[in-house]
Structure 1
Amino acid sequence: MTIGLSTYAFFWQLSDRVEKPLTLFDVLDRTADADVSLLQICDYQAIESMLPGELRDLRAAADQAGIELELGTRGLAPEHLRRYLDIAEILGATTLRSMVNSTPAEAEECIRLVLPRLVDQGVTLALETYEKVPTGVLVELVERIGHPRIGHPRIGICLDPANVVAALEHPRTVIDQTAAHVVNVHVKDFTFAREDGWVGFKLIGCPLGEGLLDHAHLVDVVDTRRINQVIEHWLPWQGSPDYTCLLEEQWTAHNLDYLRSKQS
């Protein structure tokens, strides 16, 4: 298992809410400084407009730092996936995470159209668990494309137990449902907090080990010895750029320490 960082771990530091947002090259430097050898560039739309030369420079910087790159986007339209496969090829990324945003039948058709390219390029498409698609439907989709028990070697599931809470699915149940098909894991802890006046709840992130994520069960059920665990955050804006970014950095350091302690 490799512990990695997602650009979601730098969400606020990359955003226009701060005076000088980080660049992807800055994120690579921060990743290397944290002694992390994996970065997932996920839902970072600006990468679509980067020129091939810029992408090659990014890969060269990652190679020099000893950092493996993964890529993430949303949607399964064939032309969109092919664009991201072009980017993945330049970056040397062999994992492409995406999310189903159509009917299962449409999603299956789209995936089958790009499946030969996935196989030829050696890229695994990881479909993320989230609230818009029932987990059972996602598992059935993966199984229809491949063997019912093992799926297709280039199609799997990106397990994010936090996302499914919004659809009233239990994270532990989703871990069990998807375990056989998991090829990538997004790791973030989460908790419920009362809204002001006790009128409803909000689901927010928190440091690993302080919330509702049953990480021990995840590790017991999913073969994380061969699957990367990628750290994300659901950190609410804290009112000021400086404090928000400071807390983001602190959460990253804490979560890395937490996952590393589980390896020992």
Structure 2
Amino acid sequence: MSRIGQSRIGLSSYAFFWQLSDQVSEPLTIHDALGRAADLGVDLFQICDYAPLEDMDDADLAAVRATADGLGITLELGTKGIQEVHLRKFLHIAGILGSDLLRSMFNTPGHTPTTEEAVDIFTQVLPEFEAAGVRIAIETYEQVPTQRILSVVQAVNSPFLGICSDPANTVAALEMPQQVIDQVAPHVLNMHIKDFAFSRKQGWVGFTYSGAPLGEGLLDYDYMVEKIQPKTRNINQIVEHWLPWQDTEAETIRLENQWTQQSLDFLRSK
């Protein structure tokens, strides 16, 4: 079982980003990915931004739940957008999958809610989420200043609305990871764990900001854990990657699997 005290280690579908995509010759199904997670000794899987999920009917979703149950895996759910109809759709999906958490992000194409609009939306829908026992965790990312996300969470003031911490995302908005960790720590409900680094581009002209194997990049994991205290607060830690496509499909898949194993080994050693 993959646990750190009361904090569980999980894999995200982003840990299988390339293998679940049509960029590979034989893409995994979500059932395959769940099987891979079980093989790695993982009992928590976050299906996050996985487009085929939205096209599944209730029977298809129940089949995913059945696969997870058969493998002893608990499911979490992730999407993008906070429009009321969208959140209610994913509350329905969460109910079938048995997820008690929905991670989301504010903006989607055609909908970039103001602070006031976001507060109003959550005020309207949260009673339904509370009744179902499902919490919403808004992820930190570069499109929305962290302080604005926090202002919404604080204004709504519900234990069913909080933060999905991912300090890697905010660097593109010149928000430094330690600063973001300090800001969001009291409100975190879920943690995305991925490392990141800058590398010089060819000819030393500019940089590429991309993923790194966990423990080898710029993420100060120990600082983050000290501030957020996932062990004592029962906050799950979900492994993701920012792995660029490599020269070949085979090398991409090999590295994706290697990064996943290294992430699990790193987290289990803590």
TM-score for both structures, normalised by structure 1 = 0.96
Mapped pair 1:127 → 2:135? no
Residues paired across the two proteins, number:
257
Letter in 1 for 2:81: G
Tell me the CA shift for residue 99 of structure 1: 0.3
What is residue 259 of structure 1 aligned with on the other side? 267
State the SS of the aligned residue for 1:164: helix
Mapped pair 1:33 → 2:39? yes
Mapped pair 1:224 → 2:235? no
What is residue 3 of structure 2 aligned with on the other side? none
- Give the counterpart of 2:80 among 67, 74, 77: 74
What is residue 244 of structure 1 aligned with on the other side? 252
Looking at structure 2, the residues matched to 242 and 108 of structure 1 have their Cα atoms a distance apart, in angstroms, of 46
Letter in 2 for 1:34: L
Tell me the CA shift for residue 237 of structure 1: 0.4
Looking at structure 2, the residues matched to 44 and 230 of structure 1 have their Cα atoms a distance apart, in angstroms, of 15
Tell me the CA shift for residue 214 of structure 1: 0.5
| Greater shift in the superposed pair: 99-108 or 78-87 | 99-108
What is residue 182 of structure 1 aligned with on the other side? 188
TM-score for both structures, normalised by structure 2 = 0.94
Letter in 1 for 2:263: N
State the SS of the aligned residue for 2:251: helix
Looking at structure 1, the residues matched to 84 and 152 of structure 2 have their Cα atoms a distance apart, in angstroms, of 16
- Give the counterpart of 1:85 among 83, 91, 99: 91
- Give the counterpart of 1:164 among 145, 170, 179: 170
Tell me the CA shift for residue 153 of structure 1: 1.1
Tell me the CA shift for residue 252 of structure 1: 0.2
Matches within 5 A, 1:197-236: 197-225=203-231, 226-236=234-244
Letter in 2 for 1:136: Q
Letter in 2 for 1:125: I
Tell me the CA shift for residue 64 of structure 1: 1.3
What is residue 59 of structure 2 aligned with on the other side? 53
Tell me the CA shift for residue 194 of structure 1: 1.0
Letter in 2 for 1:126: A
Deviations, residues 136-162 of structure 1 (Å, cap 9, x unaligned): 11111100001xxxxx11000000010
What is residue 112 of structure 1 aligned with on the other side? 123
Tell me the CA shift for residue 104 of structure 1: 1.4
Letter in 2 for 1:193: S
Looking at structure 1, the residues matched to 52 and 83 of structure 2 have their Cα atoms a distance apart, in angstroms, of 18
Looking at structure 2, the residues matched to 166 and 131 of structure 1 have their Cα atoms a distance apart, in angstroms, of 6
Looking at structure 2, the residues matched to 133 and 59 of structure 1 have their Cα atoms a distance apart, in angstroms, of 33
Deviations, residues 94-130 of structure 1 (Å, cap 9, x unaligned): 1000001122122112212211111111000000000
Letter in 2 for 1:61: T
Looking at structure 2, the residues matched to 238 and 141 of structure 1 have their Cα atoms a distance apart, in angstroms, of 39
What is residue 13 of structure 2 aligned with on the other side? 7
Deviations, residues 193-239 of structure 1 (Å, cap 9, x unaligned): 11112111111101111000000001101021110000000000002
State the SS of the aligned residue for 1:86: helix
Looking at structure 2, the residues matched to 79 and 116 of structure 1 have their Cα atoms a distance apart, in angstroms, of 14
Looking at structure 1, the residues matched to 31 and 245 of structure 2 have their Cα atoms a distance apart, in angstroms, of 24
Q: Provide the aligned C-alpha RMSD in A.
A: 0.7
Letter in 2 for 1:237: W
Looking at structure 2, the residues matched to 169 and 88 of structure 1 have their Cα atoms a distance apart, in angstroms, of 32
Tell me the CA shift for residue 50 of structure 1: 0.7
Looking at structure 1, the residues matched to 130 and 230 of structure 2 have their Cα atoms a distance apart, in angstroms, of 23
